[in-house]
A and B are shown apart, each in its own frame.
Chain A
Amino acid sequence: DVKVTQSSRYLVKRTGEKVFLECVQDMDHENMFWYRQDPGLGLRLIYFSYDVKMKEKGDIPEGYSVSREKKERFSLILESASTNQTSMYLCASRGPRAPVAEAFFGQGTRLTVV
């Protein structure tokens, strides 16, 4: 069973803090993704990575950065958290048979910035 694990289910941070969201997958997938989910806006792609140390901007990368030092781990970094980054963050991984490979999602991290 593929498992995508996000380090926290709930997180509360203060404005201006540097925030790290961690994601680990156990199926040796090449592709990993970070989305944020907001009501009425669906799943918006922040960044994705198709290999170790490789990254591509998604649709809303401003205010975020990512790190992929190992194949199984993909980190999302909020350099200076702001209240408009309060959201649900979802990590996903996808295997090498893209585009037909299934994407597996973590359970999400609900981040509140106060």
Chain B
Amino acid sequence: QQQVKQSPQSLIVQKGGISIINCAYENTAFDYFPWYQQFPGKGPALLIAIRPDVSEKKEGRFTISFNKSAKQFSLHIMDSQPGDSATYFCAASTWSTLGRLYFGRGTQLTVWP
């Protein structure tokens, strides 16, 4: 059973538009929710992360929105650029998982110029 469900699987956005990727989880013990970005030929790298004590975190054009009651969180990319074209993974973890991150299946984002 997948612990973190991610949608959509792929996303095409025009340059300057807003990209939105959604994730949902069931385990209420999760207390750390990072997003990873992966470019072709590279390993994933941490983009931005949030703890459940806040509802939003913003870093530049990237924002995580977190809804604890709905057990959902999302990544918003404002003013999307062709350089943002990559695969994005949401993830979750908790102290009891021995350091393990549970990843969503990924979203392939393409930003057209």
Chain A residues in the interface with B (C-beta under 8 A): 4, 30-31, 33, 40-43, 45, 48, 50, 56, 58, 90, 92, 94, 98-108
- B43 touching A31 by the CB < 8 A rule? no
What 5 A-B pairs are tightest by C-beta distance, nearest first?
Answer: A105-B43, A42-B105, A31-B99, A98-B99, A99-B93
Chain A proximity mask over B41-59: 1 for CB below 8 Å, otherwise 0: 1111110010100000000
B41, B93, B98, B106 interface centre (most CB from chain A within 10 Å): B98
B103 A43 Cβ-Cβ under 8 A? yes
Q: Is B101 interfacial (CB 8 A cutoff)?
A: yes
Q: What is the total number of residues of chain B having a CB less than 8 Å from a CB of chain A? A: 27
A100 to chain B: which residues have CB within 8 Å?
Answer: 32, 49, 51
Given contacts A40-B9, A48-B100, A50-B98, contact A98 B93 (CB under 8 A): yes
* A107 & B42 in contact (Cβ 8 Å cutoff): yes
Among candidates B89, B97, B106, residue contacting A99 with C-beta atoms closer than 8 Å: B97
Chain B residues within an 8 Å CB radius of A50 = 98-99
* A41 and B43 contacting across the interface, CB-CB below 8 Å: no
Cα-based distance from A58 to B6 in the complex (angstroms)? 19
Task: Assess whether B99 is in contact with A43, with CB atoms less than 8 Å apart.
Answer: no
- By a CB distance below 8 angstroms, the chain A residues around B46 are 102-103
